[in-house]
A and B are shown apart, each in its own frame.
Chain A
Amino acid sequence: MSQHEQALRRVSAVRGIRGVMLVSASDGLVVADVSMEDVDGRAVAALAASLCARLRRATTSAGLGVPGVVHLRGEEGVLLAVPAPNDMLVVAVADRGANVGLARLELLEAARVLG
């Protein structure tokens, strides 16, 4: 199992996580993914990368620096994204009842390992 896959699998093991992927931040393309069942990974990757780029522009313009974690809560679940080195993003899609705190920690760890 590759280092990428191992890091993503740790995140996907968290309760309520429906899928995790490594995304090229500037291209919005999926680099690697784990258990993305019932989730259109390509669409999530493209839109999450676009969202993160815009948020990054907004926070840096406001003098807040680069966002460390993006946490987007929807009616049916949560999208989490953490910037990783080498122009990457680690993105997770979770159910409403997911353990988001642990998921955030695992995403940050995955981003660190992938760097």
Chain B
Amino acid sequence: MRVLESWVGAPLERFLDESAARLVLLMTTSGQVVAQHGFTRSVDVMSAAALGAAIMASTAELARIMGSPRFGVLVHQGAEQGMLLSGFDTPRGRWIGLVVFGPDTSVGLVQLFFQQFAEEIGAAAPPAEPHGPVLAENFEHDLNASLRALFGR
């Protein structure tokens, strides 16, 4: 398990213990990764984060077209593994969780413990720090620093 912000660690560890999830990716709505568990290659994390954020954006737009509030949870159930994608609000803005689980757990359990995890994150999150402008010269440095923190290299 790798986290960019230490206060995410304890709730995420509890979620992993209770849900028996195989892979977890926690990201912002813009696809910036906050924490990951189970991924071994940074390219997979970046692809999954980008796709997860895009799927959530698409479902939010579908909800808007249908005139309903945004969808809370999206589940894809396969024969061997399932995937849960869910957005939740934190004091740091809206985050997205992507959880991949196998037959050793169930979508009900993953959903139940993910909701508890989201509540814990909401309660544990320190207030957002003011952001400066995103500069091109800082972007690559920040991205590399995040990937080093998430993969330990």
Q: State the A residues within 8 Å of B (CB).
A: 23-24, 26-29, 42-43, 45-47, 49-50, 53
Contact = CB atoms under 8 A, between A and B. Distances in A.
A29 B106 CA distance: 9
A115 B107 CA distance: 23
Interface of B: 77, 105-109, 111-112
Nearest to B107: A27
By Cβ-Cβ distance, the 8 closest A-B pairs, closest first, are A28-B108, A46-B108, A28-B106, A46-B112, A46-B109, A29-B108, A27-B107, A27-B106
B112 A43 contact: yes
A24 to B, nearest CB: 8
**Most chain A beta carbons < 10 A, residue from B77, B108, B112:** B108
B51 to A, nearest CB: 24
Contacts of A45: 108
A50 B108 CA distance: 9
A46 B112 CA distance: 7
B109 to A, nearest CB: 5
Given A47-B112, A50-B105, 13 more contacts: A23-B108, A27-B77, A27-B107, A28-B108, A28-B109, A29-B111, A42-B108, A45-B108, A46-B111, A49-B106, A49-B108, A50-B108, A53-B106
A3 to B, nearest CB: 23
A47 B19 CA distance: 11
A50 B107 contact: no
B101 to A, nearest CB: 11
26 contacts: A23-B108, A26-B106, A27-B77, A27-B106, A27-B108, A28-B107, A28-B108, A28-B109, A29-B106, A29-B108, A29-B111, A42-B108, A42-B111, A42-B112, A43-B112, A45-B108, A46-B106, A46-B108, A46-B111, A46-B112, A49-B106, A49-B109, A50-B106, A50-B108, A50-B109, A53-B106
B124 to A, nearest CB: 21
